[in-house]
Structure 1
Amino acid sequence: MGLFSRSNKIEKPKVLLELRSPNCPITAIVEQDNRTAYFYLFGDNDDFGVKSCWIRNLSKAPEEIEVKLMEKGVPPMLTKEFCKFPEGQESLSEKNLEIVWLEEGDGAALLENGEILCIIPSWGGDEGFLGYARDCTGQGNFAWELSEDNEMRKRVNNAVSFIKEWDRDENPFQSLQPKILNYYEDIFGESEKYYAIDNSEWPPKGLYVYEGEEKIVFATVAVSLRPQPKIEMYYEDPSKVNRIELGIILRLGLTNDEVNNVASLISGITAIPWDYVTFVGEGHTVEFQTIVSEKFKYAVLTNKLKLLPQMNVPAFGDSQTNFLWVVPVSDREWAVMKESGSKVILDKLDTIGEEIFSFERQEVV
Structure 2
Amino acid sequence: MTGQHLNIITHLTTHFGATPTLLWDPNDEDPQVGCAYFPAEKTGRPWGTLCSVGMSLTPMVLDEHAEDTDTKRAEIVVYVKEDEPDLDDIANKVRWAGAFPFLQEPQTFLGWGHTVHLHDLFRDSELTTLLTLSSIVTADNEPAFQIEGDDVGFIWLTFLTDAEYALKKEQGVNAILDLFGEHQHPVTFDRSRKSYV
For Structure 1 versus Structure 2, the TM-score category normalised by the shorter chain is 0.7 to 0.9
- Could you tell me which of 54, 79, 95 is aligned with 1:222? 54
> C-alpha displacement at 1:306, in angstroms?
6.4
Query: Matches of 2:12 and 2:138 in 1, distance apart?
Result: 21
Q: TM-score when scaled to structure 2?
A: 0.79
Greater C-alpha Rg: 1
Tell me, in whole angstroms, the C-alpha distance in 1 between the residues paired with 2:191 and 2:90.
12
**Alpha-carbon deviations, 1:92-142, whole Å to 9, x = none?**
xxxxxxxxxxxxxxxxxxxxxxxxxxxxxxxxxxxxxxxxxxxxxxxxxxx
Instruction: Work out which of the residue numbers 1, 4, 7 in structure 2 matches 1:175.
Output: 7
The answer to whether the 8 A contact 1:181-1:221 is kept is no
Q: How does 1:238-253 map to 2 (within 5 A)?
A: 241-253=71-83
Alignment partner of 1:297: what SS? strand
5 Å-filtered alignment, 1:1-365, equals 172-184=4-16, 186=17, 189-197=18-26, 199-202=27-30, 204-212=32-40, 215-229=47-61, 231-232=62-63, 234-235=65-66, 241-255=71-85, 258-276=86-104, 277-287=107-117, 289-303=120-134, 305=136, 309-353=140-184, 355-357=186-188, 358-365=190-197
Alpha-carbon distance between aligned partners in 1 of 2:7 and 2:20, rounded to the nearest angstrom: 19
Measure, in 1, the Cα distance between the counterparts of 2:37 and 2:15. Answer: 13
Counterpart contact for 2:128–2:162, Cα < 8 Å:
yes
* Amino acid aligned to 1:343: N
Following TM superposition, by how much is the alpha carbon of 1:193 offset from its aligned partner in structure 2, in angstroms? 0.5
Q: What is the Cα deviation at residue 330 of structure 1? A: 1.0
Relative to structure 1, the CA distance from residue 301 to residue 234 in structure 2 (aligned partners, 3 Å threshold; closer, same or farther) is closer
Shift of 1:223: 1.3
Alignment CA distance shift 1:217-1:240 (3 Å): closer
The one-letter code matched in structure 2 to 1:222 is G
Distance in 2 (alpha carbons) for counterparts of 1:331 and 1:355 = 19
Length, aligned pairs only: 188
What is the CA–CA distance in structure 2 between the aligned matches of 1:180 and 1:210, rounded to whole Å?
A: 9
* Alpha-carbon distance change, 343 to 308 in structure 1, aligned in 2, over 3 angstroms: farther
The structure with the greater share of residues assigned to helix is 2
Q: Secondary structure at the match of 2:90?
A: helix
Alpha carbons 1:345, 1:364 under 8 Å: kept: no
Q: Once the two structures are superposed, what CA deviation does each residue of 1:19-65 show, in whole Å capped at 9, x if it has no partner? A: xxxxxxxxxxxxxxxxxxxxxxxxxxxxxxxxxxxxxxxxxxxxxxx
Tell me how far 1:309 sits from its aligned partner.
4.5
Distance (Å, rounded) in 2 between the aligned partners of 1:353 and 1:236: 25
Distance 2:39 2:135 in 1: 23
Cα separation, 2, equivalents of 1:236 and 1:343: 14
C-alpha distance 346-353 of structure 1, shift in aligned 2 (>3 A): same
Instruction: Output the CA distance in 2 between the equivalents of 1:343 and 1:275.
Output: 28
1:360 deviates by 3.3
Gap regions ≥5 residues in structure 2? none
- Deviation, 1:307, is 7.8
Task: Please give the TM-score of this superposition, normalised by the length of structure 1.
Answer: 0.45
1:49 paired residue number: none
Gap runs ≥5 in structure 1: 1-169
1:205-260 C-alpha deviation (Å, 9 max, x unpaired)? 3211133366332111231111113x1454598x95211110111223333xx221
For residues 346 and 337 of structure 1, do their structure 2 counterparts lie closer, same or farther at Cα, with a shift above 3 Å needed? same
Letter in 1 for 2:183: I
